[in-house]
């Protein structure tokens, strides 16, 4: 599936896991979702964040970047990996509250 459809599927899968959409990029395909019971966020987008953006928005503890076509199985695998990453980083002291990811 094309990147836009893969991003939409990833968003839907995260929502099914209890994440809530909190923002969308005004000029891009970025979607920000807050994890259940936490202030941490997952970012789903078609491009990576710059170091400056990482510093400006430390509440994003995990990103899922989709830059090319993926199968449904590929999207599901990436979402599963992102969820593992999010849960691991959220468990660190300070994660989602000013600590940069990884």
The pLDDT score that the predictor gives to residue 19 is 96
Report residue 62 CA to chain centroid gap. Answer: 5
Model confidence pLDDT, tens digit, residues 68-102: 999 999 999 999 999 999 999 876 544 444 333 33
The pLDDT score that the predictor gives to residue 38 is 77
Give CA–CA dist 28/100, Å, rounded: 22
The pLDDT score that the predictor gives to residue 71 is 97
Model confidence pLDDT, tens digit, residues 3-43: 999 999 999 999 999 999 999 987 778 999 999 887 799 99
The pLDDT score that the predictor gives to residue 10 is 97
The pLDDT score that the predictor gives to residue 82 is 96
Paired with 23 in beta bridges are 32
């Amino acid at each position: 599936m094309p990147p836009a459809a893969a991003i939409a599927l990833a968003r839907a899968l995260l929502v099914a896991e209890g994440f809530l959409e909190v923002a969308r990029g005004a000029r891009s395909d970025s979607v920000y979702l807050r994890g259940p019971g936490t202030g941490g966020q997952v970012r789903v987008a078609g491009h990576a964040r710059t170091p400056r953006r990482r510093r400006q928005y430390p509440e994003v503890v995990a990103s899922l970047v989709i830059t090319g076509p993926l199968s449904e199985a590929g999207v599901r695998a990436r979402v599963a990996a992102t969820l593992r990453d999010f849960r691991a980083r959220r468990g660190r002291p300070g994660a989602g509250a000013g600590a940069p990811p990884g």
